[in-house]
Amino acid sequence: MSHPQTAISVADLRVEYLDQGRKVRALDGISLEIRQGEKVAVIGPSGSGKSTFIRVLSGLVEPSEGHVEVAGRRLGPNGAIPREHYRDVGLVFQSHGLVPQLSARRNVLCGRLFDYGPAAVGFRPEHDAKAEEYLRHLGLGERIDVPVSRLSGGERQRVALARLLLQNPSVALLDEPISNLDVHWATRAVDSLQELRDGEGTVVMVAHDLDLARMWADRVVYLRDGRLVADGDPDAVCRQFEELGDTVETSPDDAETDGALAGQVAGQEAGKEEPDEPLSPGMNRKGFYALVGAGLIAAFIWAAIGVEFSASKLFGNLDNAADFLGRLFPPDFSDGVTEPVLASLIETIQMALLGTSLAAVLSLPIAVMAARNISPGWLRTGARLVLNLLRTVPSIIWGLFFVAIVGLGPFPGILALTFYASGYLGKFYYEGIESIDIKPLRALKTVGAGRIHRFRFGVLPQVIPLLLGYTLYMFEYNVRSASILGVVGAGGIGFYLYTYINNFNYAKATTALLALLVVVTAIDALSSVLRRRLGQAA
C-alpha cells in the first residue's frame, strides 16, 4: 500500500493491444505518482497513449504488465474491479457516455445511482436540486429536461461534466472532456472541477489546449509513443512539447477510442476501417460478389426446374383467368353477406389484438434470455431453440393443432397466433436488445450502477420504442394471418372466404376480400404513423 496521500501510483506500466494478430504497444514503462488533490494535465501527440493511460487508471483496460493503484485499490492484471471503485473514481469520455433517450437531468442524476437500491423509485430531492444547480452553472438551465439526443456535442460534454460533479469522486479521470467547448465554457468547466471533494479531489485530464493546461494544471505529464517524456511544472513541460514540434489534435467526436475499449472487451479489433483487401487468397471483393450473383442465379434456375415453373402455363390459360375475374364482380353487398362479413372481420381484429399482446408478454422474457449482450451462452442456446421451434410451425398448422385440442372457434385461433407470433417477436426483440449502444451502459457502470440500474436506465430507454414498433408491426401482420385461420375452423373472416370460394360464390368472396382490404390498409396506415412517432422518440 502506498502513502495515504498518494491517489494514483503507477510503476512500470505496459499495455499492449492485439491488432489483427499484431501486438501494438500503447504504453511502454510508465511510472509516476499523483498525490491526492493534484490537478494533472496529460498531453501528447495523437496515438501517444493518453486515452489508454486514462482507461487503465479507470480499470476499463487491463495493464499487460506493471503495478497500478488508484484510490487505494490495486487494478489488474486479471482482477475484477469492485463496484465500490466507481464511487471513488469518476470518468468523463469525449464521447460522453450518456443515455441519449434520458433527459440531461436524469443523466446527471445517474451519477448518484450508487446511493440507490435497485428498486428505488425516483431520486432524492437534494440530488435533484444539485443536478439542476450544476446544469445551470454549466449554462444548461434551458435544457435541463431535454433528451440528450437533442443536445449539441458541446452541451453533451457539459452534461457529462455535471454528472461527474454530482458523483463527486475522489479521483476524476477525464479524456478530452472539453474539446467541443468555447473558451468561456471550457474555462468554467475546468474551474468547476475544483469543487470536487471541496478542492481535495484528484483530477487527471487529457488536454488538447496547452494554454488551458498551463492555466489550470498543477502538473503536466507529456506522453510520446507510449513513453513518459516529461512530467512536472506546466510551463516547462508545455515549452518542451512546443520545442519538440509536437501538436495536439482533438480526437474526432465519437470515433474516439471508445472503440479501443470495445476491442478489449470483446477481444477483437475495433475502431479500425476494414480495408478493401482480398477476402481470401486470390479473391477480391468484386470477384466475391460476382460469385454470389452467379450462385443466386443458379439457385433460381434449380428451383424453377424442380417445380416445373413456366410462364406459358399462365398465359396459356388467359381465357380461364378472364372468366374467373368476371365472376368476382360485382361484389355482393346484400345484408345476408355484409352482416356476417363485418362480424367476422371484427372477430379477426380481436383475435390479432389478443394474439399479439399475449405473444409480446410470452416472448419478451425468452428474448431477454436469447440476447447475446445480456445472457450467458447456455441459456441463449435454449431460448433461441424455443423461438426457432415456434417460428418453424406455420400459423395455420398451429391452428389445426389447437382446433384438435380445444375445438372450433376463435379461441384456438388466438392460441395459434400467440405461438406463431412469439417466435417472430422473440427474434425481433432479442435483435433489438442486441443492437443497443453499449457505451451508455459502460458509462453507467463507471458511476457504480448495478445490473438492475443499468437495465432500467441504460437498456430500457433505448429498447422500449424499438420493441413497441416491432409489436405494432406484428399486430399488422397478425391481422393478415388471422384472416386465414378460419380455413381450419379457428375463427375469423377466413371461414367465410373459404366457404364462399368453395361454393363458387365468388361475388360474396369479393365482398369479404374488399372488407379485409379496407381494414388492413387502415391498420397499416395507423401503425406506420405510430411507428414513425416511436422512431422519433427513440
Question: Is residue 481 a contact residue for ligand ATP (CB under 6 A)?
Answer: no
Question: Is residue 263 a contact residue for ligand ATP (CB under 6 A)?
Answer: yes
Give me the helix-helix angle, 258-266 and 438-445, nearest 10°: 90
Task: Indicate the residue among 155 and 256 with the shorter CB distance to ligand ATP.
Answer: 256
Terminal-residue alpha carbon distance, the chain: 47
Shortest distance in whole angstroms from residue 13 CB to ligand ATP: 12
The total of other beta-carbon atoms located within 10 Å of residue 116's CB is 18
Q: Which helix (H) or strand (E) holds 42?
A: strand 39-43
Question: Is residue 478 a contact residue for ligand ATP (CB under 6 A)?
Answer: no
Q: Which three cell numbers stand for residue 306?
A: 424442380
Distance CA 112, CA 122 (A): 12
Task: Indicate the residue among 94 and 418 with the shorter CB distance to ligand ATP.
Answer: 94
Using DSSP's 3-state secondary structure scheme, residue 454 falls into: helix
Question: Is residue 11 a contact residue for ligand ATP (CB under 6 A)?
Answer: no
Return the range that interacts with ligand ATP (CB under 6 A); candidates 40-48, 371-379, 392-400, 519-527: 40-48
Shortest distance in whole angstroms from residue 27 CB to ligand ATP: 8
The total of other beta-carbon atoms located within 10 Å of residue 506's CB is 18
Return the range that interacts with ligand ATP (CB under 6 A); candidates 140-148, 157-165, 254-262, 328-336: 254-262
Question: Is residue 47 a contact residue for ligand ATP (CB under 6 A)?
Answer: yes
Answer whether the bond into residue 330 is a cis peptide, omega within 30°.
Answer: yes
Choosing from 11, 270, 393, 468, the residue that interacts with ligand ATP (CB under 6 A) is 270
Task: Indicate the residue among 18 and 518 with the shorter CB distance to ligand ATP.
Answer: 18
Shortest distance in whole angstroms from residue 179 CB to ligand ATP: 10
Task: Indicate the residue among 208 and 531 with the shorter CB distance to ligand ATP.
Answer: 208
**How many chain residues bind ligand ATP (CB under 6 A)?**
19
Instruction: Give the helix ranges, DSSP H, for 371-408.
Output: 377-392, 395-406
Choosing from 38, 258, 269, 476, the residue that interacts with ligand ATP (CB under 6 A) is 269
Task: Indicate the residue among 268 and 373 with the shorter CB distance to ligand ATP.
Answer: 268
Choosing from 9, 34, 39, 48, the residue that interacts with ligand ATP (CB under 6 A) is 48
Q: Edge-to-edge, what's the strand order for the sheet holding 171-175?
A: 89-92, 171-175, 202-206, 39-43, 219-224, 227-232
**CA torsion through residues 532, 536, 537, 538, sign:** positive
Choosing from 13, 26, 220, 367, the residue that interacts with ligand ATP (CB under 6 A) is 26
Using DSSP's 3-state secondary structure scheme, residue 181 falls into: coil
Contact 166, 115 (CB under 8 A): no
Task: Indicate the residue among 17 and 498 with the shorter CB distance to ligand ATP.
Answer: 17
Given the rule CB under 6 A, which residues bind ligand ATP? Answer: 17, 19, 24, 26, 44, 46-52, 251, 256-257, 260, 263, 269-270
